[in-house]
Structure 1
Amino acid sequence: MSAPAPSVIDIASQIQVNAAIVDNYLRSNSLPPLSLAEDAFPFFPGTGPTAIDPFPSVPTEVAEARRSLRDSCELLLHLASTPAEVLFWNIACSHHHSGACLQYVYHFSLADAVPLKDQISFSDLANKTGVDERQCTRILRMLMTQHVFYEPVPGHVSHTAMSKLLTVPSLRDSIGYLLEEGFIGAGKISEAAEKYPGSQERNHAPWNVGHGIDLPTFEFFETSPKRMARFFGNMENMGGQDSYNIRHLIDGYDWEALGAGKVVDMGGSTGHVSLAISKKAPKLNFIVQDLENVVHDMRERTNEQPGYEKISFEAHNFFTPQPVKDADVYLLRFICHDYSDKYAAKILQSLVPALGPKSKVLIFDGVMPAPGTVGRLEERKARYVSPSTT
């Protein structure tokens, strides 16, 4: 039997305390206020991608107050809504209502068609994007209930901070990847479990069942450059989020101590991680390995770009024996989590013969927290599993 929840009054009091801590921090440091307006700063200052977030890291006590504030707000919402409403409207309906509406916006590029710092009529928006006006209106008004777009005057639509983010290429790619790859597989989890009970094969995922494709996800992407490019855009966006930020890898390992050593960035896609490390340890040499199409594209794009002088690209399937011997570091950043235990082990087994006496295998991946040891929202993010690859 679960422990009794605190009263709504107690929760509201805790919300007030933590809200004051967060608000005081923002005000006293002249940081952007929290807002959903179109011109709002889209991140909590100090938690966004370092390339566009110039603000200092958030102090521990403020980060904890913010975490507690978010958890308490959701708990208060759930208590006030009652279990029946939360189960039906917040959980069951969100998948095929909010997700489907957002997929529609992505698919027809509606966010790009809404002018920044201005408004457009539903009629003009529909004509501009080639969609049905009535359907478009209903879908956007549904998303407006979650602060994605808003209706400044009847019959017109403008951006909010959230809808404006859909015009940012890398974040748009993430939304597209989730809703046009993962979303299709999400409804097939049970069917895949029945069809392939206990299977660890790479082509037995819900994504395969949903899309009717027999190839493993990434092998199929090799045949579809547009979908592969969208996946890499998604990875670029994820890499900018605080928990995925490259700075954790850069600051968490003594790269400079390797001197003029060699780093093999396995599954390194565009080489953005190697490039970031090289700025801290400029003497290092990097070999970025990925699929043939990716490598060919990156060779063309980076041939004369500054910063890539010590970064080379090599086509390699990491399920086959590693061709580069005795490297100082073999880096697997967010690789193993994409595969079942069977294939994660195969990646490491294929690497072993190449290891020299001083070689290190550096695995940088998520570690699941023990239940109840972090905030509920943080644990939910950690337990998020994409149906496209599981």
Structure 2
Amino acid sequence: MGSLGEVEPSAPSKSLCREDPGINLTSTLSSYVQHLERERAKLPSSKAQACHNAAEKSNIVALCNKVIAMTMDPEMYLFTTSLQFHFCSCLKTAVDLRVHEHVPQHGAIAVQQLAGAVGADEKLLRRIMRMLVSKSIFAEPEPGYYAHTPVSLVICAPNMPDLLSHRLEDGFRAASRHAEALAKLQYRDPNAKDVLGFQLAFSTTKNYWDYVEEDDPECGQRFSKAMRAVTVNKLGDVPKLYPFNKLVDDGGIIVDVGGGMGQVAQSILSHWHGLGLKCIVQDKFASKSGSTHPELEMQSYDFFSPQPVKETNPSTAAVLYDIDMMCLYGGKERTLSEWEELLKAADQRLEIKNVFRSPNQVSGILEVQLCCD
């Protein structure tokens, strides 16, 4: 289970004149408004509105970005884009200060009061918040007063600060050395065995997994907690993506490799309750105390090691690989053809039997089977 790219690269599109993005944006937004009206939702305001079609949302965002790029002075657009790392730095500072905890859920807070609550210099906090307001992370309804937006409220969700800290600390540092790592590889497509930006940034020869296990276990625990907050695969959609009930006849065992704290497994078991399904969650940082379901078993496991769950019939276990694609690990987003190539490299008998996609998400599930000659 993971994020699926396009099935095949799209054919090159004809060059657009400057007016085309605006025309396309107007048409797409018109369709979006009609969707909201059908759903009897209010037009976008300070509150988040749901557009459940991932393709529509992606199209709107792409068109808006194109309009911005074609509206701004090209030099200024390039300059401001190259400075996005400052936004990451400001967001990390706000997360470290727990600003989201001190801004009221409703209403606003004065900068003087907020600075006192988080223990920061008022002038410094104004500069940090100015950047975050410009990106709509927080709002400034009147000068010197800060309020939540739908985006900043997300930071208040359980484990979200851990996810942001992981990305803005480990990921940010690794990304800062990524170009250097690629140059050392003479611009060859990297893999997990190469020296990546992570190794350069953290001055280690170990891969990410060995490093956090042996040198920085606190970082490993933060990563494990961070995976609880990952919403690329929304838990409500995961159980509906695949007919897990059909596994019952083959033993009903689901092995979630790299399953973090078992959040996906618990969602599946709750949705398909009473069928006799059992989930085994395997993760390097798995904790048995994290199991809150009688049919959920947590196993500490390194997925580079032989699989400990053995069955007489290979089809009795459904193995779900949850891979986080970051330059930290040497992973990559894959198209369907690249997934097929990867599976064949592992075993020529592996074949993709089916692809299950959700119209609401960019993720999906590949059903892979071992075809015996």
The residue correspondences of 1:98-113 to structure 2 (distance < 5 A) are: 98-113=87-102
Pick the aligned partner of 1:149 from 138, 142, 157: 138
Question: Is the alpha carbon distance of 1:45 and 1:200 closer, same or farther for their aligned partners in structure 2, counting shifts above 3 Å?
Answer: closer
Instruction: State the match for 1:80 in structure 2.
Output: 71
Q: Which runs of 5+ in 2 are unaligned?
A: 1-11, 332-338, 363-373
Normalising to structure 1: TM-score of the pair? 0.71
Which of the pair is proportionally richer in helix? Answer: 1
Listed one character per residue, the Cα deviations across residues 170-213 of structure 1 (whole Å, up to 9, x for unaligned) are: 33333222111111111101222345655645472212211224
| % identical aligned pairs | 23
Residue 149 (structure 1) shift: 1.8
Please say if 1:168 is aligned against 2:157.
yes
CA distance in structure 2 between the aligned counterparts of 1:287 and 1:81, rounded to whole angstroms = 52
Please say if 1:266 is aligned against 2:266.
no
Residue 92 (structure 1) shift: 0.5
Which of the pair is proportionally richer in strand? Answer: 2
CA distance in structure 2 between the aligned counterparts of 1:98 and 1:221, rounded to whole angstroms = 26
Listed one character per residue, the Cα deviations across residues 104-143 of structure 1 (whole Å, up to 9, x for unaligned) are: 1112212212222122222222222122221111111122
CA distance in structure 1 between the aligned counterparts of 2:352 and 2:237, rounded to whole angstroms = 13
Normalising to structure 2: TM-score of the pair? 0.74
RMSD of Structure 2 on Structure 1 (CA): 3.6
Instruction: State the match for 1:314 in structure 2.
Output: 299
CA distance in structure 1 between the aligned counterparts of 2:107 and 2:37, rounded to whole angstroms = 29
Question: Is the alpha carbon distance of 1:311 and 1:83 closer, same or farther for their aligned partners in structure 2, counting shifts above 3 Å?
Answer: same
Question: Is the alpha carbon distance of 1:203 and 1:177 closer, same or farther for their aligned partners in structure 2, counting shifts above 3 Å?
Answer: farther
CA distance in structure 1 between the aligned counterparts of 2:70 and 2:99, rounded to whole angstroms = 35
Residue 360 (structure 1) shift: 8.6
Residue 231 (structure 1) shift: 1.9
Moved over 6 A (4+): 359-367
Instruction: State the match for 2:82 in structure 1.
Output: 92
Question: Is the alpha carbon distance of 1:364 and 1:201 closer, same or farther for their aligned partners in structure 2, counting shifts above 3 Å?
Answer: farther
Question: Is the alpha carbon distance of 1:314 and 1:361 closer, same or farther for their aligned partners in structure 2, counting shifts above 3 Å?
Answer: farther
Question: Is the alpha carbon distance of 1:262 and 1:360 closer, same or farther for their aligned partners in structure 2, counting shifts above 3 Å?
Answer: farther
Listed one character per residue, the Cα deviations across residues 17-53 of structure 1 (whole Å, up to 9, x for unaligned) are: 2222211221232224322x2xx13x5243xxxxxxx
| Larger RCO, structure (CA 8 Å, separation 6 or more) | 2
Q: Which runs of 5+ in 1 are unaligned?
A: 47-57, 353-358, 368-377, 379-390
Q: How many residues align?
A: 325
Please say if 1:333 is aligned against 2:321.
yes
CA distance in structure 1 between the aligned counterparts of 2:174 and 2:283, rounded to whole angstroms = 25
Instruction: State the match for 2:219 in structure 1.
Output: 227
The residue correspondences of 1:1-390 to structure 2 (distance < 5 A) are: 3-8=14-19, 10-35=20-45, 37=46, 40-41=47-48, 44-46=50-52, 58=53, 64-89=55-80, 91-94=81-84, 96-195=85-184, 200-202=191-193, 204-222=195-213, 224-238=216-230, 240-241=231-232, 244-246=233-235, 249-259=238-248, 260-278=251-269, 279-280=271-272, 282-291=275-284, 294-295=285-286, 297=287, 299-302=288-291, 305=292, 308-326=293-311, 328-335=316-323, 340=330
CA distance in structure 2 between the aligned counterparts of 1:331 and 1:113, rounded to whole angstroms = 42
Which residue type is aligned with residue 332 of structure 1?
L
